[in-house]
Structure 1
Amino acid sequence: VIGPPLGGFITTYASWHWIFLINIPIGLLGIFMALRFIDPIKSETREPFDLYGMVLAGVGLAGIAFGLSVAGLNLLPWSTVAALVVGGAISMTLYVLHARRTGSPVLDFSLLKLPTLRAAVFGGFMFRLGIGALPFLLPLLMQIGFGLSPFHSGLVTFASSLGAMGMKTLAARIIRTFGFRNLMTVNAVVSAFFLGVCALFTVTTPLLIIMVILVVGGFFRSLEFTAINTVAYADVETAQMSRATTLVSVNQQLAVSAGVAVGAACVETTMWFNHVSEIDATVFAPAFVVIALTSAASSWFFWQMPADAGHEISGRKAVEIASRKGAAKSAATAAVKTATEDTQDVRDQRLG
């Protein structure tokens, strides 16, 4: 949440090296809090660690993620970027072949048979791919396109985090009311809409309006993230939790890297098409449109989930049962009332 303004402050008033060094104390604090507050979930049966699979998957994912992250940024020669991505893809292909022959793979793709996890992985990848480009495109637009300092840019993009914080207090109630499938399907489109609105930002757009749009968009994006991260484990058994966590986490990181690559590629393509050599505010609009459409496409995967997906963990099942009981009681009351009125009509006719 405090990353954008803190990173902007460090870049503006100190050395950019601290952006990386600050991860050390924050990381140590995160490790301590995880050990202190998160209960360890252990499998009843011990399984051998897939060291060979970890090496193949590690090399493959590192090559793909790093290659995609620097693609289009002109930080490395294209030959190096291509070698990273292709080498990573070859290593991941070897891993997939290996995973089919081992009983305890480090990345268990068989878990994708679960409808909720499959939707969270594939749909979540599409959604995060679009959203992952936002922290890359928006600061560039603010700094290079609008001429803001990194610190001021961080304060503007911080608005998105404010919306995310506000949503956390309402997420459980919203999910319980609408259910995972309905909420995730519709909210993916709504979130993508606010992402696409960023394409309309110009130098003359008041910063207040930009911040309001980012706050509202951050609310809906954070709601979608919460739903995706929760429903992913709805049908996962305790013994499979470790593998599922690994699979989901890797998917998240790849989506963010791919989002940066797609955003950078869109900017580069727009510059080439417009025959310009320097980045300005006009080259960002197509990128925002592309990533918005990509995020919206994730709704198709979410709609493929069962209608009652995740009801057990969201409390939606209890709400539906209570609703059915209320409807049944109302129907019974109406039936008794109708029968009483019919009886009264018969009596009135006889008296007549």
Structure 2
Amino acid sequence: MFRSGLRITTCTQRVLYNAGYYQSNLPQSFIKSFAINARYFTSSQPMRSSAIYGSTPITGKDTNVLNQIPEELLLYTHHPKPVRHEILESNAPLKTKDLENLDVKVGLHREPVTWSDKLAFKIVKLLRVPSDWFFKKKYVHRAVMLETVAAVPGMVGGTIRHLRSLRKLQHDGGWIDHLLHEAENERMHLMTWMRISKPKMWERGLITIIQGVFYNAFFALYLLSPKTAHRVVGYLEEEAIVSYTSFLKEIENGHIENTKNIPDLAIDYWHLDKDTATLKDLVLAVRADEATHRDTNHHFADRIILGNEDLRDDIKRIFDKSESKKVKKIAGLSQDASEKWKWNY
């Protein structure tokens, strides 16, 4: 491991791993510094601990609190993970060709069948009209606004299902993790595009208004009809794929510069090649994520209609049948999905 006078503890190793870092890729000076700081933060003196957590009252702003970080906060630092299994399994940084080979199914469209499907489809089509009028071909700014909205449904669905699980004293069936992961993934999209577009104050104000309106509207919709809410998200993701595909065409036609000025956040998150990563690579990676959310939310809506919302048995069955130990994409389709889905170019 590391040859130094400082002992690297299991705690330090776990903190670095959970934060998405690997000791072999980090300078030894960083490891030593991190271990020293972690030890300082988590090993407080009894008197100081008593003053903060004991019966002694605290008045004003006690800066000692900043040095009393509980060890658990360091141990379980969460590092966002991508949603595509191809990215999670990749041992080498992904290049343009790898991203182009991702199975996105650009033309896949879920035909609306029930009245709730048709309502969801019309809602999404109506939402696209002002977006097309306002942004036109300003695709980076459109992406910021799109991801502001797209990051809401997963959190809303996860929150409502979490509360229902507590209220009914029963397992949620495996949905909460998936929904919160979706929200986190969309948030990473937003953080990436904001670093590229650097929105102005009026744009930030518009984002705040749209987010507030959409959050409350979607919350109400999810309470009234979860299947319609998930169908809305499925159709939103279909439209997102259309937008990102148009974005790609503008880059390939030379109308938008295929810059290499990609944020480190995006390179680390999607495991892109830091020497060759371009705007096109980023758009390809984001579009692939949207395809996963499209399939997942349409599948969730189907499961609600069928009255079988527990994912655990079906996921276990798929893993048991699989001969591969690789991570499987569980955003699959219902058994009769072939009759409900069609290709629409």
What is the TM-score of this pair, normalised by structure 2? Answer: 0.31
What is the TM-score of this pair, normalised by structure 1? Answer: 0.31
Structure with bigger gyration radius: 1
